Structure 1
Amino acid sequence: MTLAQIAEYAGVSVATVSKVVNGRPDVAQQTRDAVLELMRQHNYGGNRDDLRSHPTVELFFGFEELSIYCTAMVQAVVDAGVRESVGVVVSRRGDRDPAADPAGWAHNLAAAGRRAVIAVTANTLSPPMVEALSRVRLPLVLLDPEVPDPSIVSVGSTYFAGGRAATTHLLSLGHRRIAYLGGKEDASSNQARLHGFRSAMEAAGVPVLGELVRHAGSFHTAEGVEHGKRLLAADPAPTAVFAACDELAAGVIEAARLRGLRVPEDLSVVGFDDTPLARVTSPPLSTVHQPINEMGAVALRTALRLASAAEIDSHHVELATRLVVRDSTGPVPADTDPDGAAQTETRVAF
């Protein structure tokens, strides 16, 4: 199928079809939709190979910078694509924010032959972006959304259970003065981790102290260092910190080093995600394993089923987390009183 044949079937000029392919805005919506529908029916891919044999999906990140967690998610979806013989094209929000021109963004994806979109974003996509994808009949799956949208298919993990498991582990080691360092305060995934933390503390009869709960503006290591310094400056300081992601936890470990504290002898630290970073921190990080590979595979399979108009088993899937204990956690320091505060040694001169 050539560009000229698409134009002939649609009853428009080749120039008009070319504008649609290139996402130009100066085409009537009805004409654009008709051309895109013909392109989909005939699997038009320009000079590309037959899209039926080589389907592609868009993996879109709603961030300007990709974290270590994001790169792990890329690997998971790409690996799943290899197994499914599906190409994965990765994009992110940059200078050309799709939110500024949702229709053009969606039409460009359709014209490029995408079968579906998998989005990893701090929040759900904006309503105009979701509507634009719907108009060009591109299915959308949210992967690990911080704020799940009940109207959009999504894949996540058991954040509450993971937060509870991390905190229970610290409590079992004798820690009572435990701090929580989360991400964006209003993100539901962060709230779920925090609720798991609070649930474990309440079950153990240990109070959650307001000065030991902090929320970073992002999930980056630099934020972990900054907020870690503030947590460790408390008097008395915490003996353990549960961080909502591995990068924040790595930052807390660095903040402890800067204060001359040893991990885990003086401070225990637990992260969340189990990214490759967790295995190369010093010491290796105890963390909650998020099944990133499985999440990526489920998201891709779900997107492909939606693209083929097949039924899906669930509108929202949550995969189980589990605790991985490494070397960043240990017993509460011996010179700590039952409430978790470090005891001071009194010396009497004779």
Structure 2
Amino acid sequence: MITTRDIAERLDLSVSTVGRALADDPRISEETKLRVREAAAEMGYVANRAARMMRGVASNVVGLVIPDIRNSFYSTIAHELSGNMEARDHQLILSETDDDPVRELRHLRELSASRVAGVIIVPTARPHHDSVRLLAALPHVQLLRRHPALGAQWFGIDDFQVLQRSTAHLLAHGHSRIGYVGGPSELRTGAERLRGFRSALEQAGLREEDGLAVLGKPSSVAHGRRAARRLLDDAAPPTALVTGSVPLTLGVLEELTSRGVRTPEELSVVGFGDEPGFSWWGPGLTTARLPVTEMATDCALWLLHRLTTKPHRDTAYTSVSTGSLIVRGSTAPPARSGRLPGERAAQRTRRSR
């Protein structure tokens, strides 16, 4: 490994002069700085971050802790955060927890030991008490999910409003038997989305049992398929479905496609998120579009400002983004044939055997 001593010997300079030149010290002339930088680049020198930080140079690394990078919701956020950090000479490093508090703690310990400048975290439902302690000593901000023990700095989405609006759209079409496919209600996001679904039913004068909610952990494509199967096989299946996450939406669409359920003639569907393929799935999926890019950008800029200004104490800061409903062809008034989606799908299955 090339060191500052190797560069010093090549240029016939002292090690301290080389170190100061690489740190852009004003005591070193621009000519010397240029010579040192050119030699360092030619020789393949890589700065020792730990040594630089011991000399008082601030870290420019920010940790991002998320549940699942396979979820395009989180990968989009990671992409936007990375771009914003890089544009301001910071680097984003990624940690994946799989919603496991023990893994979350392990990643936070490594980030703390690496002396990162700050952390952006989508926390698990029940963070370990040591995770709470570690984050208290680090500049950090919560994203999407919010846990009261982790501070009062949070960027999120109005999950209640998103699901209330999606459900109200189906109610306005005349649906009174609506199924909801959601994630775990132990997460604040899941609980708020379920509350929005139920609120829309209540405002329409319907009882809670008029809506069929199927919740599960994890919020995955597989669970979306299982939930759709369960709802459609019910003795009194819904005439419409609304979903509470991107993976769940994908799972529901896969199940409907495999069954040959015609949308919206047999079943209306409102999704969550607006993936590239949603606009051309079937008749085009009516879905809740979420301001993911804008939210990630605002979160990055807020944390970078906090790292720059270094306030003596953090004050509460909350940013809530609202979604919008994109109406396409997957929603319509309920079918009047007298047969329910599950019955029609089952009949087609029997004919195909």
Q: Name 1:57's counterpart in structure 2.
A: 62
Q: What's the CA shift for 1:233?
A: 0.6
Find the aligned partners of 1:284 and 1:330 in 2 and give their Cα distance.
Answer: 12
Deviations along 1:120-155, one digit per CA (max 9) or x if unpaired, are 2333643312322444xx311111116454624211
CA contact (8 A) 1:246 1:287 kept: no
Q: Name 1:219's counterpart in structure 2.
A: 219
Q: Name 2:119's counterpart in structure 1.
A: 117
Q: What's the CA shift for 1:324?
A: 1.3
Q: Name 1:21's counterpart in structure 2.
A: none
Q: What's the CA shift for 1:232?
A: 0.5
Q: What's the CA shift for 1:205?
A: 1.2
Letter in 2 for 1:74: A
2:113 matched to 1:107?
yes
Paired residue secondary structure (1:97): helix
Q: Name 2:57's counterpart in structure 1.
A: 43
Following superposition of structure 1 onto structure 2, how do residues 29-40 of structure 1 map, counting pairs within 5 Å? 39=53
TM-score (norm 2): 0.73
CA contact (8 A) 1:154 1:316 kept: yes
Q: What's the CA shift for 1:204?
A: 1.0
Paired residue secondary structure (2:334): coil
Q: What's the CA shift for 1:229?
A: 0.2
Deviations along 1:10-66, one digit per CA (max 9) or x if unpaired, are xxxxxxxxxxxxxxxxxxxxxxxxxx899266216xxxxxx5xxx332212244x53
Q: Name 1:294's counterpart in structure 2.
A: 294
Q: Name 2:12's counterpart in structure 1.
A: none
Q: What's the CA shift for 1:90?
A: 2.1
Q: What's the CA shift for 1:208?
A: 2.5
Deviations along 1:87-111, one digit per CA (max 9) or x if unpaired, are 3222223899352475444112x1x
Paired residue secondary structure (2:117): strand
Structure 1 residues 254 and 151, CA, compared in 2 at 3 Å: closer, same or farther? Answer: same
Letter in 1 for 2:257: R
Runs of 4+ in 1 over 6 A off after TM superposition: 1-5, 340-344
Paired residue secondary structure (1:156): strand
TM-score (norm 1): 0.73
Paired residue secondary structure (2:208): coil
Q: What's the CA shift for 1:262?
A: 0.7
Residue ranges of structure 2 left out of the alignment (5+ in a row) = 6-14, 17-49, 345-353
Paired residue secondary structure (2:77): helix
Following superposition of structure 1 onto structure 2, how do residues 1-350 of structure 1 map, counting pairs within 5 Å? 39=53, 42-43=56-57, 55-63=60-68, 66-93=70-97, 97=103, 99-100=105-106, 102-108=108-114, 110=115, 114-123=116-125, 125-135=127-137, 138-145=138-145, 147=147, 149=149, 151-209=151-209, 212-279=212-279, 281-308=281-308, 309-310=310-311, 314-335=316-337
Q: Percent identity?
A: 26
Find the aligned partners of 1:154 and 1:40 in 2 and give their Cα distance.
Answer: 31
CA contact (8 A) 1:142 1:155 kept: yes
Q: Name 1:22's counterpart in structure 2.
A: none
CA contact (8 A) 1:335 1:343 kept: no
Structure 1 residues 129 and 312, CA, compared in 2 at 3 Å: closer, same or farther? Answer: closer
Highest Rg: 1 or 2?
Answer: 2
CA contact (8 A) 1:122 1:146 kept: no
Find the aligned partners of 1:144 and 1:121 in 2 and give their Cα distance.
Answer: 9
Q: Which moved more, 1:224-233 or 1:213-222?
A: 213-222
Q: What's the CA shift for 1:210?
A: 7.1
Letter in 2 for 1:331: P
Find the aligned partners of 2:276 and 2:83 in 1 and give their Cα distance.
Answer: 16
Letter in 2 for 1:66: R
Paired residue secondary structure (2:325): strand
Find the aligned partners of 1:343 and 1:76 in 2 and give their Cα distance.
Answer: 45
CA contact (8 A) 2:125 2:186 kept: no
